[in-house]
Amino acid sequence: MCRKVMPMAAAAELVKDGQMLALGGNALHRTPAAYAHALARLKRFNLKIAGAAPGYASDVLCAAGAVDTVYFGFFGFENEYGLAAGFRKGCQEGRIKAIEGS
């Protein structure tokens, strides 16, 4: 049986340029923040993000310039903090294609 537990850095290394990720969590809750930071340090490109309500972890990757497409229902930080800044800036600059689907 293959081992399912590994160091964070090794798990981040599994993601290659152009792959699609569906990170867990919802907006500000239960997001894999440490994993997103480990992945952002690897400087991946053209990642696709999919989620009903991607949040902080996905926004870290958007801000790092790793994401080119996001499939989502709502992407933000709930009522307290508004829209996700990295995602919004990437969309405004034309680096991120936003595909909304409720």
Q: pLDDT, tens digit, for every residue of 9-64?
A: 999 999 999 999 999 888 888 999 999 999 999 999 999 999 999 999 999 999 99
Residue 99 has pLDDT above 80, yes or no: yes
Q: What is the mean pLDDT of residues 71-82?
A: 87
| Per-residue confidence (pLDDT) for residue 79, from 0 to 100 | 78
The structure's pTM equals 0.92
3 in a domain, yes or no? no
| Residue showing tokens 């999919």 | 50
| Per-residue confidence (pLDDT) for residue 95, from 0 to 100 | 98
| Per-residue confidence (pLDDT) for residue 57, from 0 to 100 | 96
6 in a domain, yes or no? no
Domain limits at 28? 17-100
11 in a domain, yes or no? no
10 in a domain, yes or no? no
Count the domains in the chain.
1
| Per-residue confidence (pLDDT) for residue 102, from 0 to 100 | 76
8 in a domain, yes or no? no
